[in-house]
Amino acid sequence: MNGGTRDAQWECGRQVESRSRKDDVTGHNALCSDSHSHINIYSSSHPIHIKKMGTVLARISPPSFRPERDIPDLTGKVIIVTGGNAGIGYETCKQLLLKNAKVYLAARSAEKAAAAIKRLEAETKNTAIFLKLDLADLPSVRKAAEEFLGQESRLDILFNNGGVMISPPDQLTAQNHDLQFGTNVIGHFFFTDLLIPALTKSYEETQVPARIINTSSSGHAFAPGNGMDFVSLKGGPERDAWVKKKGSFSAPWALYGESKIGNIYISNYFAKKYSNVLVSCALHPGGIKTELQRHASGWIQVIGNALLYPAPLGAYTQLWGAFIATPAQMTGQYLVPWGKIGKADKRVSNTKLEEEVVAYIKEQIKGF
């Protein structure tokens, strides 16, 4: 998926203008910041013009929400977007900058972030601020939070957008966690928890609840069994046996599903624990083409190219949750395209499992 010419970038949830560009997209978005919607099928010599399908589908059920029209001026608002250098995160940063927000673009690669910030400046005439953040390394997460808190006393909105999708099971975080769960869930939980003072300060100063917007996916339905096999979450012989039993194709998808159901659980946790000062929701951005899909097998990428939507549409639902939905509407909810309250898999309502997952995460971040 990396490199080559495309008419549209893989991104979660939004139909954006077609354009040809050379991409080496990096950050945390792939076949599915959520992979269930628009696709362009390409062979090396002949593009098959099923790529129009996404545009047609968007016109059949077009979004009524328009960021450029409906988001108010955001002058004075302080916002963080994780994974902001590519995909849905990039498109989110773009809309925020167009509305004059102070945007911290959190990403792992300084080089790729600098390139994204340069493009954003050309497109919006405003400049994002780079915040170095590696969600797969807990000391990096703490350092990023401390750097932000050293510059800002208040955080109005946190977009927990970055992530990894269907990475090979042998890829682990610096602390030996499954790369998907460690990045998508543990890293974001720790980052959010460290930023609670700034989110609380936002409410104290404005009397408006701060918002945490967590990018999940309809892919949470891929989670195995009751929703979480804890043995799969950390490297070791038991996990190796689990992966072998699942098989090389199914294991990455099951792990992805666990990470996405985990996103919903941590969203619910923050919504309940800090209900007096903030609101929190999880969302499915739509079937979007993003670089998250770089780990997908070739045939899945071909199908994805034909059916998935480009990135700009992927940003719609999280922007709707951040600026249009009322706090009462969105907190503790699961949003779906293109800005609606939806229903997650029934396993999400398992409050006992939610508590167990949160307890597991808290244990993993101890000492960091």
Does residue 67 register a pLDDT over 60? Answer: yes
Domain boundaries defined on the chain: 67-279+330-365
Catalytic residue chosen out of the listed positions 42, 104, 256, 269: 256
At residue 228, what are phi and psi to the nearest 5 degrees?
-155, 120
Q: How far apart are CA 344 and CA 244, in angstroms?
A: 29
Which own/partner contact pairs does 179-182 have at CB distance under 8 Å and 24+ positions apart? 179/136, 180/252, 180/255, 180/256, 180/258, 180/259, 181/233, 181/255, 181/258, 181/259, 181/262, 182/135, 182/136
Catalytic site residue 260?
yes
Of the listed ranges 40-49, 241-250, 354-363, the least confidently predicted one is 40-49
pLDDT(37) > 90: no
Q: How far apart are CA 83 and CA 216, in angstroms?
A: 13
Which residue shows structure tokens 């808290």? 362
pLDDT(26) > 80: no
Collect all residues with Cβ–Cβ distance below 8 Å to 214 and sequence separation of at least 6: 160, 188, 263, 264, 266, 267, 280, 281, 282, 283
Look up the CATH architecture of domain 67-279+330-365. Answer: 3-Layer(aba) Sandwich (3.40)
CA distance 226 to 229: 8
Reduced to 3 states (helix: H, G, I; strand: E, B; else coil), residue 365 is helix
Residue 302's H or E segment, with its range, is helix 298-307
Half-sphere exposure of 251 (CA within 13 A, CB side): 20
Mean pLDDT of the chain: 84
Better-scored residue on pLDDT, 59 or 294: 294
Q: How far apart are CA 314 and CA 309, in angstroms?
A: 8
Distance, CA of 176 to CA of 150 (rounded, Å): 29
- Of 301, 299, 279, the closest CA to residue 289 belongs to 301
Structure-token pair, residue 197: 């003072």
Both tokens assigned to 236: 């070791």
pLDDT at 164 over 90: yes
256 is catalytic: yes
Q: Where residue 288 falls among pLDDT bands split at 50, 70, 90? A: confident
97, two tokens: 């900058």
What pLDDT is stored for residue 325 in this prediction? Answer: 97
- Are 11 and 87 in contact, with CB atoms under 8 Å apart? yes
Q: Kindly report the number of other CB atoms within 10 A of residue 49's CB atom.
A: 11
Average pLDDT over residues 204-208: 98
Model confidence band, residue 298 (pLDDT cutoffs 50, 70, 90): low
Q: Which pLDDT value is given to residue 302?
A: 57
Q: pLDDT band for position 44 (50/70/90)?
A: very low
Give the count of alpha carbons within 13 A of 159, CB side only: 33
How far from chain centre, in Å, is Cα 115? 20
Query: Using 50, 70 and 90 to split pLDDT, how confident is the model at 62?
Result: low
pLDDT at residue 28 tops 50: no
Both structure tokens of 237 = 């012989």
3: confidence class by pLDDT, cuts 50, 70, 90: very low
From the candidates 35, 37, 216, 267, give the one annotated as an active-site residue.
216
What is the Cα–Cα distance from 276 to 166, expressed in whole angstroms?
36
Strand 129-132 and strand 210-215: the pairing is unpaired
* pLDDT at 310 (0 to 100): 75
> What pLDDT is attached to residue 337?
94
The answer to whether residue 70 scores a pLDDT higher than 80 is: yes
The pLDDT of 2-9, averaged and rounded, is 30
C-alpha 60/C-alpha 38 separation (Å) is 13
Residue 20 has pLDDT above 60, yes or no: no
Angle between helices 250-273 and 351-365 (to 10 degrees): 90
CB 288 within 8 A of CB 10: yes
Q: Which of 255, 278, 88, 78 is nearest to 184 (CA)?
A: 255
Judge whether 316 counts as a catalytic residue.
no
- Asked if pLDDT for residue 97 goes beyond 50, the answer is yes
pLDDT of residue 287: 80
Mean pLDDT across the stretch 10-15?
Answer: 29
